[in-house]
Amino acid sequence: MTEKNWWLISFTVAFIFAALVAYRWYLEDSSYQPNECQLADELRAQEVLLKYMEEAGYPPDAYLEPVPTGVFIQSLEFEDANDVNLSGYIWQRYDRMNYTEPPGIVFPERVDSANSILPDPQKETFRETVKNKEVVGWYFEVTLRQTFDYRKFPLDHKTVWIRMWPSDFRHRLPLMPDFGAYRSTGLDDTFGIDEDIVLGNWQIEETFFDYHLPDYDTNFGLTGSEPNPKLFPELYFNIVLKRNFMNEFITLLSR
């Protein structure tokens, strides 16, 4: 066999392996599927809430009407492997027949400040009242500690979430997405985030709300007819990000 043939064979084998690697990378890069548990509309959210309440043993009149809560993100930055900083606006829409003040929100995973409870009069940015309905919004900036999987770097996806509790802990007031405040909240839709947000080496796949059931091993000392708090759903706002491989590759080369 001539040297030319050996070179041809080597080139062909190398090309095949490169094509297989590229195909594998393509599969990893496009592997994300929309979250089927997301709350696409108010009907779906009501169904999920009622299901969880029934499983928890709540009678129909044991909890207050869910409070529509919305989020709009203006900045997002990974500070290190587990901490992510976000800023933007958050608001609640409520009936003044049920509440004299906004029900409030807690960020339980906040690590940058001991004050993680809204409402905060100093951060209130807007308030509007129409008949008995009132909406109040606050500016917020939080650093949240979360767990991310880096095993598929640089072809990985990350889901950044904002976990929200009602500030009235004992009554476990349900929070619900303020669907009417967004243009569209269906599968594959991106909403609740600034179109001009700068994400560096990341790009947005989608955003969505969903409920999670926490797994607590305590009743927090609550007595009486209070159901097990581990069965009460918590509202999450999720931002799914995909790493921009070419940006990451160029950044690594420039170091």
Strands (E), 119-186: 124-130, 133-145, 157-166, 175-177
Residue 252 has pLDDT above 70, yes or no: no
Task: Report the percentage of the chain scoring pLDDT > 90.
Answer: 26
In a 3-state reduction of DSSP, which class is residue 92?
Answer: strand
Q: How does strand 157-166 pair with strand 105-106?
A: antiparallel
Residue 141 and residue 209: Cα distance in Å, rounded?
Answer: 19
More confident residue, 26 or 131: 131
The CA-CA-CA angle for residues 128, 109, 73, to 5°, reads: 45
Residue 184 and residue 202: Cα distance in Å, rounded?
Answer: 23
How remote is the C-alpha of 249 from its chain's centroid?
27
Residue 235 has pLDDT above 80, yes or no: yes
Q: What average pLDDT does the structure give for the chain?
A: 78
Report whether 174 contacts 116 (CB < 8 A): no
Q: What is the pLDDT of residues 206-223, one digit of tens each?
A: 899 999 887 777 777 766
The predicted pLDDT at position 98 comes to 78
Q: Token pair for residue 227?
A: 């159901």
**252 CB-side CA count, 13 A:** 9
The predicted pLDDT at position 92 comes to 94
At residue 86 the predicted structure's pLDDT band, cuts being 50, 70 and 90, is very high
Residue 212 and residue 232: Cα distance in Å, rounded?
Answer: 9
Nearest Cα to Cα of residue 225 among 102, 56, 79, 103: 56
Nearest Cα to Cα of residue 143 among 73, 85, 78: 85
At residue 176 the predicted structure's pLDDT band, cuts being 50, 70 and 90, is very high
Residue for token pair 């608001």:
91
The predicted pLDDT at position 192 comes to 95
The predicted pLDDT at position 228 comes to 56
Q: What is the pLDDT of residues 63-74, one digit of tens each?
A: 667 889 999 999
At residue 51 the predicted structure's pLDDT band, cuts being 50, 70 and 90, is confident
Report whether 239 contacts 73 (CB < 8 A): yes
Report whether 186 contacts 40 (CB < 8 A): yes
Q: Is the dihedral of CA 163, 50, 192, 105 positive or negative?
A: negative
Average pLDDT rounded to a whole number, residues 159-188: 85
Q: How does strand 202-212 pair with strand 133-145?
A: unpaired
Residue 49 has pLDDT above 60, yes or no: yes
Report whether 161 contacts 38 (CB < 8 A): no
The predicted pLDDT at position 183 comes to 92
In a 3-state reduction of DSSP, which class is residue 89?
Answer: strand
pTM of the full structure:
0.80
Q: How far apart are the first and last CA of the chain?
A: 44
Q: Token pair for residue 3?
A: 């040297």
At residue 26 the predicted structure's pLDDT band, cuts being 50, 70 and 90, is low
